Structure 1
Amino acid sequence: MLGKLVVIAVLMFGFGFALIPMYKQICELTGVNILTNKDDKVALPDNTQIDKTRLITVEFDANTTGPWRFRPVASSLKVHPGEMTQIVYEVVNTQSRKMDAQAIPSYAPHEAEAFFKKMECFCFKQQTLGPNEARQMPVVFYIDPKLPKNVTTITLSYTFFEVGGNVVKAPT
């Protein structure tokens, strides 16, 4: 009895291994579950949400209120509407103390704001920078292809300011 069970177990194990090449052959014959071309070159479809007929110039600006050095790494980029793009802003806390800050964006022309979609941005939350700390902060965005055709340039401007702490009050 034990011998018969061992033979059956070995046959079942062997049949499991034989199923792999049989499955591949059946899938090739029927055209089901084909993951690669015969030449191993996979042609990826184009992202149809990108409007390659238009280029929008996005200008980047940085303003500060407080003891910061704050600037974009590039002053402008040309992007196609619908294309995911990243820009990096650099900030340096020039003080010898920890500071909390927040960035507030603004857009020009104002009508472009509804079409400027940020996926990731340092402006979504407050930033804490240690004494004399420098940081690179990304902004990942795309411009909605529904942007009016007359808009060819968008300016993204950030104002970076200290929150809480030893905020310098404006003179009255």
Structure 2
Amino acid sequence: MATPAPHDGDRMLNRSMLIKLVVMAAVMFGFGFALVPLYRAICNITGANSLVKRDVTAAGARNTQVDTTRTVSVEFDANARGALVFSPEQNAFDVHPGAVTAVKYRVTNSLNRTVHAQAIPSYAPAVAGQYFEKIECFCFTQQTLAPHETREMPVVFFVDPKLPRDVRTITLSYTFFELGGPAGETTSAGQGGTAAATPAGGA
């Protein structure tokens, strides 16, 4: 039996490598779409960071004492997956622990079709999540955006005065995922999706 020429061996090696890369890309793409239901399943099991449950009621917030002896810098971060253009109204501001504060985020559906999406919050440092109390948040429910719709969405929150004094900065970061969108869609600008730039200090 004739021995394959060296270039045949290289061709087989390149083909094998290409197949592996394609499989890896497909797995990573699928994992990105699976993050939201996976996160929701974990939340349902553990009861942690529930997407649909308020951290505290407005009545509970009114009973919170405001610590005017110090301020905490809150930074706002926004990331989008797929067809959404997403950003905060302000990148950062200082708050007194216990003071109820609001910030707005803006999201735009860049597609010619309706998009269903979910925002997932995260915090840095991680310990801050125990003390960041959201009264109202667009992350509590799924959002439905009409074609090319732009929507302003508030987050009403306060920082628990029990926050350790060595934590002087909190970053609130949201990642917005499209839910169950058809593959291969492109934006009106001809791109697959746009992610908003994140301010320094984001999670």
- TM-score for both structures, normalised by structure 2: 0.58
1:85 corresponds to 2:101: yes
Identity of aligned pairs, percent?
Answer: 58
Instruction: Assess, with a 3 A threshold, how the Cα gap between structure 1 residues 49 and 68 changes in structure 2: closer, same or farther.
Output: same
Give 1:128 shift.
Answer: 0.1
Counterpart position of 2:191: none
Which amino acid is the alignment partner of residue 119 of structure 1?
I
2:120 is the counterpart of 1:104: yes
Report the secondary structure of 1:49's partner residue: coil
Distance 2:126 2:135 in 1: 19
Q: Shift of the alpha carbon at 1:167?
A: 5.2
Matches within 5 A, 1:2-151: 49-151=65-167
2:76 aligned counterpart, secondary structure: strand
Instruction: Note the C-alpha offset of 1:165.
Output: 2.9
- Contact kept? 2:116, 2:179, Cα under 8 Å: yes
Q: Would the aligned equivalents of 2:116 and 2:178 in 1 still touch at CA under 8 Å?
A: yes
Residue in 2 that maps onto 1:22: none
1:56 corresponds to which letter in structure 2?
Answer: V
**Structure 1 residues 162 and 51 mapped into 2: Cα distance closer, same or farther (>3 Å)?**
same
Alpha-carbon distance in 2 for matches of 1:70, 1:48: 31
In the TM superposition, residue 166 of structure 1 has moved relative to its aligned partner by 1.5
Letter aligned with residue 87 of structure 1: V
**In structure 2, distance between residues paired with 1:123 and 1:48:** 23
Larger relative helix fraction: 2
SS at match of 2:165: coil
1:166 equivalenced with 2:182 (yes/no) = yes
Q: Post-superposition shift, 1:48?
A: 7.3
Matched residue SS, 2:113: coil
Supply the RMSD in Å over aligned alpha carbons.
1.3
AA of the residue aligned to 1:126: Q
Q: Does the C-alpha gap of structure 1 residues 48 and 110 become closer, same or farther in structure 2, counting only changes over 3 Å?
A: closer
Structure 1 residue 164: Cα displacement = 1.7
Q: How many residues were matched structurally? A: 122
Q: Which runs of 5+ in 1 are unaligned?
A: 1-46
Task: Determine the C-alpha separation between the residues in 2 that align with 1:48 and 1:85.
Answer: 13
Instruction: Summarize deviations over 1:58-82 as a string: whole Å, max 9, x none.
Output: 0000001111110000000100000
Other structure's SS at 2:170 match: strand
- TM superposition score normalised by structure 1: 0.69
Q: Which runs of 4+ in 1 moved over 4 A?
A: none
Distance 1:48-1:128 versus aligned 2 partners, 3 A rule: closer
